[in-house]
Amino acid sequence: MNVLVINCGSSSVKYQLFDMADESLLAKGIVEKIGEGVSIVKHAARGQEVRYEAAIANHEQAFDHIRKALMDPTTGVLRSADDLDAIGHRVVHGGEAFVQSTLIDDKVIATLEEYSALAPLHNPPNLVGIRCAAKAFPGKPHVGVFDTAFHQTMPKHAFVYALPYELYQRGRIRRYGFHGTSHRFVTMRAAEFLGIPLDRFNAITCHLGNGCSMAAVAGGRSVDTTMGLTPLEGLVMGTRSGDIDPAIVFHLARSNGWTLDAIDALLNKKSGLLGLSGLSNDCRTLVEAAPTNERAKLALDVFCYRIRKYIGAYLAALGRADAVIFTGGIGENSVPLRRQILEGLDALGIELDPAANEVRGREAIITRPSSRIRALVVPTNEELLIARDTLAIAGKQG
């Protein structure tokens, strides 16, 4: 069964095609800068890479290019659309309606449109991708895999905010959490790697990239996570502030005369590592600069401290943990930041092995054999998990 995985953004479409017989990646690519005059198409398959520019005015035209790339006589991997069996879609916000991946129909689309108010930057492009993919590949089953679904197992005391309860009842204002597909993938893989049954596996998962979040996992199920109603809450990120005193918003509005839109842009696009360092949102740049740049060092210190704090908090929430898992671009590759996060946590049962921590981009245990809680690096693969869910759900339809 060949499964196409789609991640549709406001001006881009990423795709990967899997042969689920052996879970091999047949092709991948991206259409970028949609609607910007000159768009870029990148496609890789059969050991070859193709890159070209084109005028792509909208997502429907982008899917025409994807369809042609997948069926190209030279670099394509499908003889015809008949060789494609199902399409899986990354959907950012499923709200409380979707606790697991779901076959997409008109009712699902209508529900996702309702949740667009909670994810105005993400759900509308996701819906565009669903509609365009249905037109490009008619008659195929489509499955939605939701970033929020994994966290729908959180108990109420973990997801409800201490606001007037009517705001939750009427507007569903609550903690939802994101990166759920990544947290679920690394949880399952780490349990398998350590030989622990998933329903007995407790872990703290750290998805660290330009966007960062952590989750407390008990018995393989999310019981808490750092992101909230939106992806702004929680850890320090590339350009997002993470946790702040909410009264800062009112202070900026009243004292500086800032508009809500200006404050929104400040917290989401000008804060985090970029705002603290004044240099970059890229940890690699900051690690290089830190020895001689005080603000670069400060940005990394704040970044690592926030993660250490949440590790302690989640250990308290879980009562016990088998593992702390690092994933995402930073989590998988940044040796110095993993070291800074974990060093000195021996009293909590986490004994870092500096030599083992030198690993980059592959599965490994990075704590000493004597460590009561093991720390692992587990590369994430959200696209593969989306393909697996799509196979499981679409396969039942055939």
**Along the 398 residues of the chain, how does pLDDT read in single tens digits?**
999 999 999 999 999 999 999 999 999 999 999 999 899 999 999 899 999 999 999 999 999 999 999 999 988 999 999 999 999 999 999 999 999 999 999 999 999 998 888 888 788 999 999 999 999 999 999 999 999 999 999 999 999 999 999 999 999 999 999 999 999 999 999 999 999 999 999 999 999 999 999 999 999 999 999 999 999 999 999 999 999 999 999 999 999 999 999 999 999 999 999 999 999 999 999 999 999 999 999 999 999 999 999 999 999 999 999 999 999 999 999 999 999 999 999 999 999 999 999 999 999 999 999 999 999 999 999 999 999 999 999 987 65
**Tokens at residue 390, please?**
């799509």
Q: What is the CATH number of the domain that holds 338?
A: 3.30.420.40
Is the CB of residue 335 less than 8 Å from the CB of residue 358?
Answer: yes
301 counts as catalytic: no
Q: Which of 119, 125, 128, 124 is nearest to 148 (CA)?
A: 119
Q: Are residues 43 and 107 in the same domain?
A: yes
Domain that holds residue 293: 196-382
Q: Are residues 138 and 254 in the same domain?
A: no
Q: Are residues 131 and 234 in the same domain?
A: no
Q: Which residue is catalytic, options 19, 64, 82, 147?
A: 147
Q: Do strands 48-54 and 39-45 pair parallel, antiparallel, or not at all (unpaired)? A: antiparallel
Q: Are residues 131 and 208 in the same domain?
A: no
**In a domain? residue 91:** yes
**In a domain? residue 73:** yes
Q: Are residues 369 and 265 in the same domain?
A: yes
**In a domain? residue 50:** yes
- What dihedral angle (degrees, nearest 10) is formed by the CA atoms of 97, 126, 383, 339? -90
**In a domain? residue 216:** yes
Question: What is the number of structural domains in the chain?
Answer: 2
Q: How far apart are the C-alpha atoms of 48 and 129, rounded to whole Å? A: 26
Q: Which of 136, 32, 31 is nearest to 87 (CA)?
A: 136
Q: Are residues 241 and 346 in the same domain?
A: yes
**In a domain? residue 188:** no
Domain limit, last residue, from 106, 126, 146: 146
